[in-house]
Amino acid sequence: MELLEVKNLTKKFKGKKGDVLAVDNISFSASKGEIFGLLGPNGAGKTTTIRLIATTLAPTGGTAVVGGFDIHKHPAEVRRQIGVLTTDIGVYDRFSGRENLRYYGHLYGLEGQDLENRIDELIKLLDMSDFTAKRAGKYSTGMKQKLAIARSVIHDPKVIIFDEPTSGLDVIASQTVIAFMHRMKELGKLVVLSTHQMPDAERLCDRIAIIHQGKLIALDKISVLKEQTNTQNLEDTFLKLIKQKHLRSEPQEEQEQKKGMTGDSKIKLIRQIRIASLIVLLIGIAAFFIPSLQQYSIVTNALILVGALGAVVTKTYFKKYK
């Protein structure tokens, strides 16, 4: 069983101008020791997805299972399994950094030396020792963000979900947060990272899910998505996948779904046919030059013809679908 399983998760918001399907039937799973990226343009539904998993919002449909606990049946256990950092999670300005962490530690039932040790560990990991004695109200954006991160993982959760953890941070503070995520991965945690920072996602994520208009439009390793879109960096991959989604008209998409074939699987199939055609072509050419096979010239010519035809036709289709 995976540490996080999201199954047909759906959230509809009722608005004055009509309903908004913020999360539309999303499914994915992620396992321990993985950094899983959640990417998508503004308003795609990333934060809503995170809130549904974190049980701070109730879904309209579907479910999520965290560490074996279902968000509907065991919300309290789910909250113990995960540490969530979203943009609206604040800290108490009147308390010092250490007092903030103590306060949140107590909420999770942590006490005494164990709690102090955990706080010390996080202060070290997030490079916060210079300012944790000061009141949080005097912190810079970067200091506050580090404290918010420490606060969200005080109870040592198995799943850590970060929504834009490096937004508004300078290069040095970003590096500390990135190193922290690496460390969490090393410790066997599952880190879910929602971000707009493509270089961060590219460096950190093992797999990514791209969400667009509430729908999951891509889910794979970055290298696979790059290959599928014939792009060199994640920003181009992202833009191409979003553009493909826009270009594909709705009726065509419905037809493809009926046939069980999406644009991605079509490209894969065409690539396989192309490789097969090239192999047939090479076999034909090789056989053509073997003297003992010259009595079978009809067969070798046919192989060359079929192989060449396949290679040309698939190349044309390949260009069209990219």
Ligand X SMILES: Nc1ncnc2c1ncn2[C@@H]1O[C@H](COP(=O)(O)OP(=O)(O)OP(=O)(O)O)[C@@H](O)[C@H]1O
Token pair in block for residue 196: 């707009």
CA 146-152-154 angle, 5° bins: 100
If phi > 0 it is left, if psi is from -120 to 50 it is alpha, else beta; for residue 308 that is alpha
Number of helices and strands (H, E) in the chain?
12, 10
Rounded to a whole number of angstroms, the minimum distance from the CB of residue 64 to ligand X is 15
CA distances from 17 to 20, 56, 214 (A): 9, 24, 18
Rounded to a whole number of angstroms, the minimum distance from the CB of residue 30 to ligand X is 18
- Closest Cα to residue 39, out of 153, 151, 163, 181? 163
Rounded to a whole number of angstroms, the minimum distance from the CB of residue 49 to ligand X is 7
**Which residues of the chain form contacts with ligand X (CB under 6 A)?**
13, 15, 20, 22, 40, 42-48
**Whole-angstrom distance between the N-terminal and C-terminal Cα of the chain?**
35
244 binds Mg ion (CB under 5 A): no
166 binds Mg ion (CB under 5 A): no
Rounded to a whole number of angstroms, the minimum distance from the CB of residue 11 to ligand X is 8
Is the Cβ of residue 34 or residue 164 nearer to ligand X in the bound state? 164
Q: Are 45 and 211 in contact (CB under 8 A)?
A: yes
Question: How many of the other CB atoms lie within 10 Å of CB of 303?
Answer: 21
Token pair in block for residue 166: 């490096």
Rounded to a whole number of angstroms, the minimum distance from the CB of residue 143 to ligand X is 22
Is the Cβ of residue 40 or residue 263 nearer to ligand X in the bound state? 40
Is the Cβ of residue 12 or residue 32 nearer to ligand X in the bound state? 12
Among 47, 96, 174, 228, binds Mg ion (CB under 5 A): 47
110 binds, among Mg ion, ligand X, none (CB under 5 to 8 A by kind): none
Rounded to a whole number of angstroms, the minimum distance from the CB of residue 154 to ligand X is 24
Is the Cβ of residue 46 or residue 240 nearer to Mg ion in the bound state? 46
48 binds Mg ion (CB under 5 A): no
Is the Cβ of residue 58 or residue 282 nearer to ligand X in the bound state? 58
Instruction: List residues near Mg ion by CB under 5 A.
Output: 46-47
